[in-house]
Structure 1
Amino acid sequence: MTDVARSPRPRPQRSDGEQTRERLMHAALRLFAQHGFEKTSTREIAEAAGTNLAAIKYYFGDKAGLYRTVFFEMQGKPEDEIERYADPSLSLAEALLGFYTGFVEPLREGDVAQQCIKLHAREILEPTGLWQQEISEGIQPMHEALLAVLARHLGVATPDDELRRLAMCLAGLGVHLHICTDVIDVVAPALKQGAQAWDRWLDRLVMYGLAMVEAERQRRATPEPSGETPR
């Protein structure tokens, strides 16, 4: 297990140090995303944030504690994301709106979202142990919550492989939007321009998501020919 995975949670910040803590987190996010955990020094982070090494120790304990905080705190908490779409009283369209809002809202913030994406990509390629924690404590609970939404609206008692495949495809729309924003900048820059660009993306994601769910509903309603493998 790496130092990052073993690192204790940082102590709560003092209210009068919020700006210093925020500067450290943003500086660390940029540098960790560019160079990775191992090749980024605390001195570089402190200098970029306009503070000193003691501030890193006070707020985060050490470099590993700062990395953990940046990795998990610079994005939404899983429980907050799930709350957007898991309420049984929501219609399917409302649930998908809440689900995709979790993908679109960070993109409105511009560079921060891009740096978080790069940081996660680096963590996958240069693992410290946090990506597996992200999967088990973040991605998996959100996946299970989405499965419950789909099962409820499709009348499925127990989620099966086809429902899990549908959930993966629905999430893929949002994930692709995140990891391919630089591609969009090149091949279709107009899709990110204008005050309403992200509102339009959110609307379309919900529309496409509803179409995917409806396609699965129709597939389930169509009897499989005798002796054939289910589609």
Structure 2
Amino acid sequence: MPARPPARPVPPAPPPSPRDRLLAEAMRLFGERGVDAVTTREICAAAGVNPGAIHYHFGDKDGLYREVLRLPVAELDRQLAGFDDPGLSLHESIRRFIQPFLFDDGSCNAQLFFREMQAPSPVFMETVAREVGPLFDRFARLLARHAGMEQPNAAIHQLAMGLQAMAHDYSMTRPMLDAFHPELLADDPLLEQTCHRLADWGCALVEFERQRHASR
């Protein structure tokens, strides 16, 4: 048999650019200590770039922080693509929407968002309103459609936030829940069953709002 040609070596991945290094180190430092406690000089030193690099790539510290916040939001948007497709059942749509909020992988962006939820900065609130708000509006419109409403009312908006909050609470308080009742999630390490159950509850709550709206 003819000898096989030698496998071509896989070229090494290119090193991260100065811009990417700045983003990675800013995410890490902001997550560990908060945006106000970290200086631009510290970020540049950690990234191995000159002190003017932040101004060159992002304009200023706030511009860097906006981009740090935008990246995980863009990933969330990617994960939620198609959740409100009219061809999906209500249960599947809710499941797809809440699933990304169930998990805390311990990454720097998870630490950063948890810190900001406790003491939100103006840049964070601006980013959330601009980037995340439209996702929740889409979710509320989806719930309203299944509740027989042309537009979401206050109760539907509250329900949209409440379903997300229930999912997010599992990621934020998982250690506490495991300490109180370690048996509850012992057979559900990836929270797939929990996600399904939360979607069950969501469907029941939408039906409640549908009946209440129809009786008026």
Q: What is the TM-score of this pair, normalised by structure 1?
A: 0.69
The answer to whether the 8 Å contact 1:24/1:46 transfers is yes
In the other structure, the counterpart of 1:143 is 136
Q: From the superposition, tell whether residues 190 and 130 of structure 1 become closer, same or farther in structure 2 (CA, over 3 Å).
A: farther
Residue 113 (structure 2) pairs with residue 117 (structure 1): yes
Secondary structure of residue in 2 paired with 1:86: coil
Letter in 2 for 1:146: F
Letter in 2 for 1:170: L
Q: What CA distance in whole angstroms lies between the structure 2 residues aligned with 1:191 and 1:162?
A: 30
1:67 maps to 65
The alpha carbon displacement at 1:121 in A equals 2.9
Amino acid at match of 2:192: D
For the pair 1:206 / 2:204, whether they are aligned, the reply is no
Q: 90-99 or 46-55, which moves further after superposition?
A: 46-55
Evaluate the alpha carbon distance shift between residue 201 and residue 52 of structure 1 in structure 2; reply closer, same or farther with a 3 A threshold: farther
**Cα distance in 2 between the residues matched to 1:188 and 1:60:** 46
Equivalent position amino acid for 2:158 in 1:
R
Over 3 Å counting, the alpha-carbon distance change for 1:186 and 1:75 in structure 2 is farther
For residues 19 and 188 of structure 1, the distance between their equivalents in structure 2, rounded to whole angstroms, comes to 46
Which residue of structure 2 lines up, in the alignment, with residue 159 of structure 1?
Answer: 152
Distance 1:192 1:51 in 2: 45
* Matched positions, count: 204
Counterpart of 2:37?
39
Residues 1:172 and 2:168 aligned together: no
Counting helix residues as a fraction of each chain, which structure ranks higher? 1
Shift of 1:41: 1.6
Distance 1:213 1:64, change over 3 A: same
How has the CA–CA distance of structure 1 residues 114 and 78 changed in structure 2, closer, same or farther, with 3 Å as cutoff?
A: closer
Seen in structure 2, the aligned counterparts of structure 1 residues 110 and 78 have a Cα distance that, compared at 3 Å, is closer
Structure 1 residue 123 displacement after superposition: 5.3
Taking only the aligned residue pairs, the percentage that are identical comes to 31
Matched position secondary structure for 1:174: helix
Match of 2:6 in 1: none
Cα offset, 1:70, TM superposition: 0.9
Structure 1 residue 150: Cα displacement: 1.2
Distance 1:191 1:154, change over 3 A: same
Aligned to 2:89: 91
TM-score normalized by structure 2? 0.73
Letter in 2 for 1:44: E
Unaligned 5+ segments in structure 1 are: 1-14, 225-231
Deviation at 1:166, TM superposition (A): 2.2
Distance 2:24 2:180 in 1: 29
Instruction: Specify the code of the residue in structure 2 equivalent to 1:137.
Output: R
**Alignment RMSD:** 3.3
Contact 1:74 1:116 in 2 (8 A): no
Residue 204 of structure 1 and its aligned partner are, at CA, apart by 2.7
Q: Distance in 1 between matches of 2:113 and 2:176?
A: 14
